[in-house]
Structure 1
Amino acid sequence: MSQKTLERIMPWAVVIGLFLFWELAVRVFDFPEFILPAPSVIFEAMWQWRVPILENAAQTAMTTVVGFAIAIVFGLVTGIIIGSSSLIYNGFYPVLIGFNSIPKVAVVPILVIWFGIGTVPAIITAFLISFFPILVNVATGIATVEPELKDVLRALGASKRDIIVKVGIPRSLPYFFASLKIAITVAFVGSIIAETVASNKGIGHLMIVASSRFEVPLVFAGLLVTAIMGVIMYVIAIAVEKRMTGWSVREMDGPAAGS
């Protein structure tokens, strides 16, 4: 079996093995369903409640994608501005770190007061929680351009804007796409947090309602659906990253690696 074939099979084998181990552990130790349902019971609940799950999953996916898209725009622009100037970088970083340290669940009640219960608080929470990783990585990518390279470019007549546009931004792209893979997963966390507190639809709301009725398999079904959506978005981010920044990836298993 080739290395590439094994790499394709391995994720599926790990996931299937995890579910089999989970199923076996529940059966052997006889965990009550209201504490830890078996995967077979969770899949049954997913099929039984497929219509409300799909409707609420669509809502969660929409709020997450919208919040994530806004975070990409603001994070990219702000990261370029902050990374382009050491004065701005040093001035704004304490504020940004302090803001990021605030638990976003504590911000949701304020968003409810401002915007009411519904979609808007979920979008804003997804934006707030995914904005910081993008900003930090883009700013770091631009700010860490080698001083020697800057000196050479200035000697060749390049302006500060030329250095940022032609060197800084391309150099920050691997950082940027790495941050997207982190941000998209935490964006779902933001949406779910807001939906559990301030929404009448979405996977978070569905899980709260299910837990209040002690329908634990449905709660786990909501968690599983959220995980699936996160994996899908992560795979999309990887595909775009390979398309845009393939030049930055070196083959590790080629002939040179073994020589």
Structure 2
Amino acid sequence: MKKSFDRFLQTKAASVILPAATIVLTIVLWQVGVGLFNVPRFILPAPTQILAAMNQWSPVILRHSLTTLTSTLLAFALALVGGILLGSIIGSSRLAHLCLYPLLVGFNTIPKVALVPLLAIWFGLGTIPAVITAFLLAFFPIAVNVAVGLETVEAEMRDVLRSLGASSWEIFTKVGLPHSMPYLFASLKVAISFAFVGSVISETVASNQGLGYLIVSASSSFDVPLAFAGLVALGIMGILLYTFFAALERYVLSWRQ
């Protein structure tokens, strides 16, 4: 019995059935618990109340979702380009690693929420502070993982390629970059989540649009089901993008299997 279950866990069906079953069970327990303990909707709404709010306010949620998604994807694209460039420089040069890596780590320790009021002063309310905040959160894991991937290339392999007449650029493109791809894709799945966090943080403080703004506005008027509907929209977008990058990783790195 145990062996059959272990074999089932290795199948593709298990990767779909088990997460779906867990989500359904969580929703059922949530619904039953709220009804059983008679929890007020302004404290913790039932899933059916959240679904009703999503249906009632669907045009508003969709509009704010598109704003958040646009800011997040723009910031993520900038973080991807910047992270790969800086990570490549740090991972390929000992001098750059010694000079830039401590600055990168030090800046990353600054809570980004503390920068949002300053960004609002510099750039005003709206999309720009959200994009910058999301970029700052998504940039670090990409840059660090690319640098680590390049640094872990075996020195013996570099020496062999140099002895065969390969240039530094050829070593980077033929060995370093492919070697760092697993690290890069691992960081992408983390960075896209961080980008959403950055967008929402900025929207709660320095914006009059986006899901962060919607959640704060709904909470201030005690419309908690609408606030949870915004959270559900965030979760759905995050899961879809995470799934996309996971599928892209399996496709691009199929040679690892």
TM value normalised by structure 1:
0.93
The 10-residue stretch of structure 1 (235-244 or 190-199) with the greater mean CA deviation from structure 2? 235-244
SS of the equivalent of 1:163 reads helix
* Identity in percent: 53
Which of 200, 204, 218 is the matching residue for 1:192?
A: 200
Listed as ranges, the matches of 1:18-37 within 5 Å are 18-37=26-45
Q: Deviation per CA, 1:19-39, whole angstroms, max 9, x where unpaired?
A: 111112212222221111111
Q: Distance in 1 between matches of 2:108 and 2:155?
A: 29
TM value normalised by structure 2:
0.94
Task: Please name the residue that 2:246 is paired with.
Answer: 238
Q: How many residues align?
A: 249
- CA shift, 1:95, in A, is 0.6
Listed as ranges, the matches of 1:1-259 within 5 Å are 3-248=11-256, 250=257
Alignment-mate amino acid for residue 42 of structure 1 = I
Alignment-mate amino acid for residue 86 of structure 2 = T
- CA shift, 1:127, in A, is 0.6
Q: Distance in 2 between matches of 1:200 and 1:56?
A: 10
Alignment-mate amino acid for residue 21 of structure 1 = L
Q: Distance in 2 between matches of 1:5 and 1:117?
A: 46
RMSD over aligned CA atoms reads 1.2
Q: Distance in 1 between matches of 2:239 and 2:15?
A: 17
Which aligned segments of 4 or more residues in structure 1 are displaced greater than 3 angstroms? none
SS of the equivalent of 1:36 reads coil
Q: Contact conserved, 1:86 with 1:143, CA < 8 A, in 2?
A: no
- CA shift, 1:93, in A, is 1.2
Alignment-mate amino acid for residue 68 of structure 2 = T
Unaligned ranges ≥5, structure 2: none
